[in-house]
Amino acid sequence: MTERPGRDTVLATAPDAALDEALDAALHRLRLNGAIFFRAEFTEAWSYLSPHPERLVEALHPGARSIILFHIVVDGPCWVSLEGGERLWAESGDVVVLPYADQHTMGGTADAEPVPITDLMDPRPWTALPMVRHGGGGAAAGIVCGYLHSSDPLFDPGLAALPPVFVVRPPEGPAAQWIQASVQYAVAATTSAEAPTDATSVRLPELLLVEVLRLHLRSAPTIGSGWIAALADPVLAPALAALHADPARRWTVAALAETVAVSRSSLDERFRQVLGRSPIRYLTDWRLHLADDLLATTDRPVAVIARRVGYESEEAFGRAFKRRYGASPGAWRRTRTP
């Protein structure tokens, strides 16, 4: 029997106004696509192992760079952990989020050997919301699992804006009630013979994740590093705004430092401290992120995309792109589009 730790309550301070405004802006422009894709009823003792992210992407959204997983705990308790990581506990009403779909293990209060989740599911295509049942027949735990896809930098593994796994506990009140009602509606709609196909049912996973992210980011006691921290940083916020507004400009550290009225050394130090890379390295990553999105969502020629994101020649763009993604822009585009 694994001893379950107590539930510690973290009282977060009110968010800084700049961070609050930046979060609203970031969440408002998110582009998400996805679905609630299976329900699970586990009984003690139970544990499962998820596939590697590459296999999940291939199965659920071929051509995507990554996907976002979330698990809504209907009946608990249960835990989740990444390889070599600590166990994070969740109870009824909590939402487990894996923004980069890292391979993970979930289980109950009793020890059990993890079983690959793919061994417990019927093969696709599914005509109804799949139901997974597994365990030793003891106390029950119910989970609704979903995935989404987004090309937004918030979910770019390379920028690592979010922790690889976190648990959101909606506070009692409207938010928790809305999440619970939305899950009940989604499950009923997906399993009904007269399942609605309106925009509300299609967008439920998107709306759920945005609300969960809002709760997580606003209640976190500190967000000391990463892209989210940079959004509210007095030095990085205007620097990122300048780079994002004109990525094709021939930026130098000196020019960017002059734009935000700080020294070159201070700017470079702040980028490395919060974002883990130099200003020019961040600019390169951002340009390639934009190029990836343009290759997947437009039919613009590669040479046009190269100029759009700041490369003077298609050859230089191709070399940089292949270093990052392991394939030429043309070959990558063929894997990213239907």
**Predicted model pTM:** 0.71
17-219 and 233-336 share one CATH topology?
no
Specify the pLDDT at position 248. 93
Q: Give the closest residue to 120 by CA, choosing from 110, 112, 130.
A: 130
- Quick one: pLDDT band at residue 12, thresholds 50, 70, 90? very low
Over 80: is that where the pLDDT of 165 sits?
yes
Q: Tens of pLDDT along 138-157?
A: 999 989 888 888 877 778 77
pLDDT at 193 over 50: no
Interatomic CA distance for residues 1 and 44, integer angstroms: 11
Does residue 293 carry a pLDDT above 70? yes
Sign for the CA dihedral angle at 323, 324, 329, 332 comes to: positive
Instruction: Return the pLDDT at 195.
Output: 45
Query: pLDDT at residue 65 above 80?
Result: no
Instruction: Give the pLDDT score at 148.
Output: 86
- 59 against 275, higher pLDDT: 275
Say if residue 2's pLDDT is above 50: no
Averaged over 281-308, what is the pLDDT?
Answer: 88
Q: Which residues of 95-111 are buried (b: 16+ CB within 10 A; e: fewer)?
A: bbbbbbbbebbbbbbbe
What pLDDT, on the 0 to 100 scale, is given for residue 318?
A: 95
Average pLDDT for the chain: 80
Q: Is residue 201 predicted with pLDDT exceeding 60?
A: no
Phi, psi for 82 (deg, rounded to 5): -90, 170
What would the mean pLDDT of 19-40 be, rounded to a whole number? 70
Give the pLDDT score at 98. Answer: 93
pLDDT at 338 over 60: no
The superfamily (CATH) of domain 233-336 is Homeodomain-like (1.10.10.60)
d(CA 278, CA 46): 45
CATH 2.60.120.10 fits 17-219, yes or no: yes
Q: Where are the domains of the chain?
A: 17-219, 233-336
Residue with the two structure tokens 């422009």: 29
- Determine the average pLDDT of the residues in 104-127: 87
Whether the pLDDT of residue 134 is over 80: the answer is: yes
Q: Are 95 and 67 in contact (CB under 8 A)?
A: no
Residue with tokens 């196909």: 197
Structure-model confidence comparison of residues 120 and 159, the more confident one = 120
